[in-house]
């Protein structure tokens, strides 16, 4: 059975080992949560390069926000890779913002999908059609490697990743907003009731968040009354 929860993991630049957390790390995680709930999900441009047949390659240029479709019992595995704070939304939240699951490919010198994409891109460049190049770029941003380059170790396949990729149509609709900061340039606003579950690194971080003045109003808003606050350890019991 597939989960209806899609989890955005964040904080890999703060700490990735729950056993070594200090109060400074916890405070940073609380600040990260407050920033996301107040101003929205960050959209970043991943540093990923996929290789394919005939020396073809794809490198993402589109801002995006990534989610994993995993059961909560698997939370710790993904948290240790991407960050110890998980923010869960429904699948509908992502679909309504033109998001969807990624298309996994081999990331291998014999991969025909990347090779075909490169051939199409070459033709589009010759045509000089900027709009078509943008459409192609958005579609390409939904391609994800299932393994490390030129290996079949399936390192990323079990993430069941979904993405929301920036388009101007979403921006015009207000589903994506331009920021005043160089990083991130775009955010995805979060409205009351959008967040279904928050997964904290540990109980101490959860307690710190409940005492934070910036989060107090959000946590006590009627629309968020059903939001579940869990820790990574508690997720292991699901």
User: pLDDT tens digit string along 115-132?
Assistant: 888 888 888 888 888 888
Query: How far from each other are the two terminal CA atoms of the chain, in whole angstroms?
Result: 14
Mean pLDDT to the nearest integer, 13-23: 93
pLDDT band at 53 (very low <50, low <70, confident <90, very high): confident
pLDDT band at 152 (very low <50, low <70, confident <90, very high): very high
CA distance 202 to 78: 15
pLDDT given at position 10: 95
Most confident of 44-58, 87-101, 169-183: 87-101
Q: Which ranges of the chain does DSSP label H, i.e. alpha helix? A: 23-39, 75-82, 91-95, 112-127, 130-140, 168-172, 203-210, 213-220, 232-235
High-pLDDT (> 70) share of the chain, %: 98
Average per-residue pLDDT for the chain: 90
Mean pLDDT to the nearest integer, 140-164: 91
* pLDDT, greater one: 115 or 142: 142
Give the CA diameter of the chain.
Answer: 58
pLDDT given at position 73: 76
* pLDDT, greater one: 181 or 29: 29
Burial class (CB in 10 A: 0-12, 13-18, 19+), 181: exposed
Residue 45, pLDDT > 70, answer yes
Mean pLDDT to the nearest integer, 99-109: 92
pLDDT given at position 238: 65
Whether the full predicted model's pTM is greater than 0.95, yes or no, is no
Residue 1, pLDDT > 70, answer no
User: In a 3-state reduction of DSSP, which class is residue 133?
Assistant: helix
* pLDDT, greater one: 180 or 76: 180
Q: How crowded is residue 170: how many other Cβ atoms within 10 Å of its Cβ?
A: 19
CA distance 164 to 63: 9
């Amino acid at each position: 059975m597939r989960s209806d929860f899609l989890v955005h993991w964040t904080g890999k630049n703060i700490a990735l080992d729950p056993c070594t957390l200090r109060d400074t790390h916890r405070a940073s995680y609380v600040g990260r949560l407050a920033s996301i709930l107040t101003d929205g999900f960050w959209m970043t441009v991943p540093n990923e390069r996929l290789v394919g047949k005939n020396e073809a390659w794809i490198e993402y240029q589109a801002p995006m926000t990534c989610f994993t479709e995993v059961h909560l019992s698997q939370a710790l595995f993904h948290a240790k890779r991407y960050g110890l704070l998980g923010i869960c939304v429904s699948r509908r939240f992502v679909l309504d913002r033109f998001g969807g699951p990624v298309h996994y490919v081999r990331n291998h010198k014999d991969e025909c999908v990347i090779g075909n994409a490169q051939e199409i891109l070459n033709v589009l460049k010759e045509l000089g059609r900027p709009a078509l190049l943008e459409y192609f770029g958005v579609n390409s941003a939904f391609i994800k490697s299932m393994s490390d380059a030129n290996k079949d170790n399936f390192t990323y396949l079990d993430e069941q990743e979904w993405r929301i990729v920036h388009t101007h149509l979403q921006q015009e609709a207000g589903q994506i907003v331009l920021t005043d900061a160089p990083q991130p340039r775009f955010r995805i606003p979060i409205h009351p009731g959008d967040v279904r579950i928050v997964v904290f690194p540990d109980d101490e971080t959860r307690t710190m968040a409940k005492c934070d003045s910036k989060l107090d109003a959000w946590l006590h808003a009627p629309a968020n009354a059903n939001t579940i606050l869990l820790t990574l350890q508690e997720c292991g019991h699901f």
